[in-house]
Chains A and B, each alone.
Chain A
Amino acid sequence: MGFFKKAFKVTHPFLDSEGPDYGKEAAKAENERQERIRQGTADVNTTFAGFTPTFYDDRAKAYTNFALPQLAGQYQTTRNQLLQNLASRGLLKSSSASKQGSTLEKTARAAGQTISETGRAQAQDLERQVEDRRNSILGLLYQSADPASARSSAVTTAASFRQPSAFAPLVNVFSNLANQYYSSALLDATRQGAPTYNDYDWGSVNPGAVPGGSTSRRV
């Protein structure tokens, strides 16, 4: 059969009805498209290769390194105010001083943990964004089979993610504590010179007092 076919193709070209090989051409075009996609995927992955776990750890540390000195400053300020307040009241060795110092320390350590968690959360958020962007670039590549465009987009995106972030200043983590002690100090100052608790004649307002009785007593 092949012999006849070959023979007729040579001797009778009008019988050669095969025409162009559409399947071969289409398969070739598809293979080229898949190769372009593979190439583009490799390029995109190479561009994003710098986004390793180490990169994200460093990103988290960057925030920690930014925020911890601010925490230390706030801690020192609050601590000084606290100690000054306690000293002015002669309470440095009191149980109240111990309790307030403990609360300050606990708050500071919890704030340190919050900073650590915030740094990690920011790094995780960045990682998610990077993966989303890479996914979207690859999605476009699978549609367009245009590795040059994908590469260009990947380079731009990766560069934008590598730029240093602008961190917001740390809010005063001791504000509640400070307010509490400021209020306490204010109350103490108000009380100075005022009658003490025992100076009041509680008998007139003592609900337990017997009306008309002779016992106007101090509580």
Chain B
Amino acid sequence: MAGAAAGVMAGVNVFGGILQAIAAQAAAKKMFKEYKAERGRQKAYAEEATGVFGERLGGATADVAGSQMETGAKQRLAEFANIAKLRLAPTNNLVMTPQDKASFETTTKSRAKLGSYSDWALKQAIQDIRTQQELNRITSFAGGTAQVFPFKSYDAQHEYDWLANLGAAIQGSSGAVQGFYGAPHQGSVPQTSQGSGASGAPSYYEGDINIDPWTKGMV
């Protein structure tokens, strides 16, 4: 009877241990799941940033530069033409000699072309600034999201604590019952403090005490 009870208690003890092992395994899986989820989120941020940067790169090609400079030169030439129409004096403006006129027109085109570099550079600079703004925002969001991960990992780590606690409780109850039956003057299984038990089974300490694990028969 006592042996059966001890066996049951041992089984219960093992069951409690198994529950704790399951809890630990489940927690590890949950943590890994959270890790993968965080990696996914960070990857999404990285892809978003790559898209923003790629879009910016697309606007920084030689073709775009040529187009922007051409537009700038046209606008400048139009402004120059508008100003040239103005009369600076009540009477007619003076007349340029053909040489001066030719020289002036050539200079005007060169001037518009030179100024168009400034127009292009400004457009590029502003695009750079706005791209940087967007990248800063994404970086901020990614950083903030990454800061949440340790808390999620902690939660995952403790997600199955209830199961581990249950296993521990079962183990504890098993130990308590064993203790109850094993305690002197309490249970039906009397024991001596040393030596053989009432059942006549040899005690663990009977015989030679050899705790060397390398001794033959110990391993």
Interface of A with B (CB < 8 Å)? 1, 4-5, 8-9, 14-19, 21-27, 30, 33-34, 37, 41, 64, 68, 71-72, 75-76, 79, 98-99, 101-106, 108-110, 112-113, 115-117, 120-121, 124, 127-128, 131-132, 134-135, 138-139, 142-143
**B133: Cβ under 8 A from any A Cβ:** yes
**B32: Cβ under 8 A from any A Cβ:** no
**B56: Cβ under 8 A from any A Cβ:** no
Other A-B pairs, 16, CB within 8 Å; known A101-B94, A112-B84: A1-B163, A4-B166, A5-B162, A23-B151, A27-B152, A75-B88, A76-B88, A79-B94, A106-B96, A108-B88, A112-B83, A113-B80, A116-B83, A120-B76, A135-B133, A139-B133
Please list the 4 inter-chain residue pairs (A to B) with the smallest Cβ-Cβ separation, ordered nearest first.
A23-B152, A17-B161, A101-B94, A22-B151
Whether the pair B126, A19 counts as a contact (CB closer than 8 A) is no
**Cα distance, A142 to B68, chains bound together (Å):** 32
Chain A residue nearest in CB terms to B26: A1
B76-106 contacts to A (CB < 8 Å): 76, 79-80, 83-84, 86, 88-90, 93-97, 100, 103-104
Chain A residue numbers with a CB within 8 Å of B103 are 106
**B165: Cβ under 8 A from any A Cβ:** yes
**Cα distance, A200 to B218, chains bound together (Å):** 139
**B159: Cβ under 8 A from any A Cβ:** yes
With beta carbons under 8 angstroms apart, the residue of A14, A22, A72 that contacts B88 is A72
With beta carbons under 8 angstroms apart, the residue of A30, A108, A131, A134 that contacts B148 is A30
Whether the pair B140, A142 counts as a contact (CB closer than 8 A) is yes
Chain A residue numbers with a CB within 8 Å of B147 are 26, 30
Chain B residue numbers with a CB within 8 Å of A22 are 151-152, 154-155
**Cα distance, A8 to B167, chains bound together (Å):** 12
Contact with A along B145-185 (1 / 0, CB 8 A): 10110011111101101111110010000000000000000
Whether the pair B97, A99 counts as a contact (CB closer than 8 A) is yes
Chain B residue nearest in CB terms to A137: B133
A-B contact pairs, 21 of them (CB 8 A): A5-B162, A5-B163, A8-B162, A16-B162, A18-B161, A19-B158, A21-B155, A22-B154, A23-B155, A24-B155, A68-B83, A104-B94, A105-B94, A106-B103, A108-B88, A110-B104, A112-B80, A113-B80, A120-B79, A124-B119, A138-B133
Whether the pair A105, B148 counts as a contact (CB closer than 8 A) is no
**Cα distance, A25 to B144, chains bound together (Å):** 13
Known: A112-B83, A127-B122. A98 touches B129 (CB 8 A): no
Chain B residue numbers with a CB within 8 Å of A19 are 158
**B57: Cβ under 8 A from any A Cβ:** no
Chain A residue nearest in CB terms to B126: A131
Instruction: Name the distance in Å between A123's Cβ and chain B's nearest Cβ.
Output: 10
Whether the pair B136, A138 counts as a contact (CB closer than 8 A) is yes
**B137: Cβ under 8 A from any A Cβ:** yes
Instruction: Name the distance in Å between B116's Cβ and chain A's nearest Cβ.
Output: 11
With beta carbons under 8 angstroms apart, the residue of A9, A64, A99 that contacts B162 is A9
Instruction: Name the distance in Å between B47's Cβ and chain A's nearest Cβ.
Output: 17
Chain A residue numbers with a CB within 8 Å of B153 are 23
Interface centre among B88, B89, B115, B133 (most CB of A within 10 A): B88
